[in-house]
């Protein structure tokens, strides 16, 4: 059974740093396209970052230069290092597994975690 379990959220002051973790089971993180998606309170879904199976990484403009996505193959875990946090980064952060068919540009998320809440406030 595929499971994604996020952790690491909490209350952090503006300018601070936080690292989110997403522990996966039932599949291999390094063989898949893995993403972080966030949702501010009462707002819609916002894609944050993706790491391809080959290791390439991409970011939304809103977090580029501040957030870093990575994975630990030995722990089968996905991470999101968040630096220089701002109030507008307050959101529930979900990790999600992507299903990709590259030549046809098919990309969708078939499994999502339950999310972890990050609150940036003084």
Q: Where along the sequence are the contacts to another protein (CB under 8 A)?
A: 35, 37, 44-47, 50, 56, 58, 60-61, 94, 98-99, 104-110, 112-115
Among residues 2 and 16, whose Cβ is nearest to another protein? 2
Smaller CB distance to another protein: residue 14 or 108? 108
Q: Which is nearer to another protein, 23 or 45 (CB)?
A: 45
- Calculate Rg over the CA atoms of the chain: 14
Question: Residue with structure tokens 């940036």?
Answer: 120
Shortest Cβ distance from residue 122 to another protein (Å)?
Answer: 27
The beta-strand segments (E) located in 1-122 are 3-7, 10-12, 18-25, 33-39, 45-51, 57-59, 67-72, 77-82, 91-101, 106-112, 116-120
């Amino acid at each position: 059974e595929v499971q994604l379990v996020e952790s690491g959220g909490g209350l952090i002051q503006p300018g601070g740093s936080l690292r989110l973790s997403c522990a996966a089971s039932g599949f291999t993180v390094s063989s898949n396209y893995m993403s972080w998606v966030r949702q501010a309170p009462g707002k819609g879904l916002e894609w944050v970052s993706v790491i391809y199976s080959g290791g390439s990484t991409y970011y939304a403009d809103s977090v580029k230069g501040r957030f870093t996505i990575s994975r630990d193959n030995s722990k089968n875990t996905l991470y999101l290092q968040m630096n220089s946090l701002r109030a507008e980064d307050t959101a529930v952060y979900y990790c999600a597994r992507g299903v990709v068919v590259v030549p046809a540009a098919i990309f969708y998320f078939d499994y999502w975690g339950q999310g972890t809440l990050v609150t940036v406030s003084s």
